[in-house]
Amino acid sequence: MPRQPMIVGAPVVLVIDIQKGGFLDGYDIGIPKMTGWRANMGRARQVIDAARETSTPLIFFQEAHRPDLIDFGRELDGAEGIHCVEGREGTEIAVEETGYRPGEDYFIRKRRYSCFFGTELEILLKGLKAQTLILIGGLTDVCCHYTFADGHQHDYHCRIVGDAVGGSSDEAHAASLRAMEYLQAGAVRSTADIVAGLAALKSAA
């Protein structure tokens, strides 16, 4: 198959789990983070701002679990501790850091890693006539990776912004990017690539 264009058809930006706990000093979010995580989230904001400037739809996701922990399932069997519990400050979307606009941006709360699993995402994407999904946020190797895989299997063109996502470790981040590139050649793009690509779409409109 020939390498596909970076953006095919109508793009949508998926802002995955950029939540307040990652920015609160001393706050135990229960999830390990790679070095440079905050810098990568700063570049995620650049993608968000570029999407706004080009009228590209933004869908913000919040992982959240009920306080009685009934919906954690097998999530605590691995390296993660209790995390993203409803009602805790750190679980809220990081509004200041992302520029999230409640009531204007699309918002989906999810109970599992993939943004597709048990949510209305597929219905929303059909309504938006989306063809290309641009992923930013975290974790690269968990929620972003599983969302990418599900998007791939739903036949979307998936692009992961490699310097605007953050993994559980440097090694896991790099390995996950390689795995996504394996599924779709040209999937891993930089913030600069995506910002320029969105601007080009606007200029061509």
Is pLDDT above 90 for 163? Answer: yes
**Whether residue 1 has pLDDT greater than 90:** no
Q: What pLDDT is stored for residue 72 in this prediction? A: 87
Condensed to tens digits (0 to 9), the pLDDT of residues 137-150 reads 999 999 999 999 99
pLDDT at 2 over 70: no
Q: 162: which residues sit within 8 A by CB, 6+ positions away?
A: 177, 188, 189, 190
Measured CA to CA, the distance from residue 76 to residue 62 in angstroms comes to 18
- Whether this prediction's pTM lies above 0.75 is answered by yes
